[in-house]
Structure 1
Amino acid sequence: MASDTLSRRPPTLRRIRTDSRLATAAKEIAFLLAAALLYTLVRGLTSDRVDAAFRHAEDVIAFEKTLGINVETDLQGLVLDHQWAIDAANGFYIYGYWPVFVLTLAWLITRRPAAYPFYRNALLASGAFSLVIFAFYPLSPPRFLPWHGFVDTISLEVPTYRDMSSSRLVNEYAAMPSLHFGWILLLGIAWVALSRILVLRIIGAVMPLLMFAAIVLTGNHYVVDAIVGGGVVVAGIGVAVLIERHKRRRAVEAAIDDARQAADDGDGSGSAIPAQRTPNLTRVR
């Protein structure tokens, strides 16, 4: 009898939260699948623009020389004679991206669900900006230009990874912006802002610096790619801020409507909230 009573009890708060997080995870899978499909379509748009990608690469190199930041080959020259440095750069480029990406999103969903939508929106917005750049400005990565002195360290040391990343589902002429750097910058910001553990906050602050070194030392990106990658992430954060402000404004307006309705239901006069006070309330952030 007691067991029947227990089985008929309403769901606990923990179960409700678990179900909500599972629903959120399902939606995020859908988002990622849609993003992957869109990325594939953009890859199709740029695959027949190889000549433009190499012309743009020459333009980027010339632009960096003008600014005095054409330092990629000089930096590579510092590590090519040190196997441990090459291994470290290759390893962080490979394992410091998707694993960190997935684990951070999982942590946000499960441990910081209130903050997750902000970073999700920033991620999607920066990705959308990047897709536009990929479509209209195909760019060959440095590793495709060995005559400039660039070395593809991953092809030399980890050819299996390069073989996998050379499939038809990967846009090899989308060097700008560097989402390897940009998205790790965004995730690092999340670590610094939301983690309660000092060591993790320090790691979050260092991760973008390590990824910047990795993308340059492996011959996968130019310095300008990282700058633009950081720029699209800042723009994505701006979009996320606007979305949050819009959500808060809608919540305040809904609260005002509910209060007015309650007042109308209570005395029928609708005068519980004076009309002249409403503008002050709607300015709440």
Structure 2
Amino acid sequence: MTGDEGLARQFEELRPRLRAVAQRMLGSASEADDAVQEAWLRLARDDQDKHNLAAWLTTVVGRICLDMLRARTNRREDPLPVAERLEAADVDPEQEAVLADSVGLALLVVLETLSPTERLAFVLHDMFAVSFDDIAVVVGKSPAAARQLASRARRRVQAGPADPGESDRKQEVVAAFLAASRGGDLGTLLTLLDPDVVMRADETAARMGGHGETRGAEVVAAFFNGRATGARLADIEGLPGAFVAAVNLALAFTVINGRITAIEAVANPEDLDEMAIQLI
């Protein structure tokens, strides 16, 4: 077997994974095939040794997809709603239906609201376990910045498709939580928290007296008990939340079935500048 034949065989073995990455990045089976084919052409033209071909190809596919998403944005090309795209005449409905079924129609809808770099960071890290060091190379940012891109995307994904009525109900849960926090009502705090709630804080927020990550309703409730005196209700990138102007801290809450399952504390000034925060 020649070197070219061996490379082609390895590529074909990796094709399903590469296609899955591209599908979730682009939301289109036909465009995913184009991206994977372009990755093969780049591999064939590159004569350098690849110590980890899977990682190399994943990052190349990521770059190609990022360029394709940016081209959509530059052309101000709004993608068709997923349900309409499945019926479009210029794509294979069966392929698109398989994609929607494997990813989830609701997730596809939310992914299309993300910026190209947010989508890439979320898909590569959360769906395919690519390290932030490798993602940073693709997006041209630091690993910490890549982590924040994925974090912002995760918040929007957790918020789900927009539903004004549901958003109001979730905000009511957060409002009750903040009131209980101010009043030192530990019992109410516990009833509003999921038993497995997780609270994550960036480095700046952790320096304010918290921890990078805290798990469990009792621990999180104890942390908030008697606090939140300066917190004001806010919409944090589509999630119910709160903002504490005195210390420049944003709290984004994930609420599922009437209980808080996750709280993310963000205080890094650069990240706050890029976040969509609307006081209520």
More strand by share: 2
TM-score w.r.t. the length of structure 1 is: 0.21
More helix by share: 1
Between the two structures, name the one with larger relative contact order (CA 8 Å, sep ≥ 6): 1
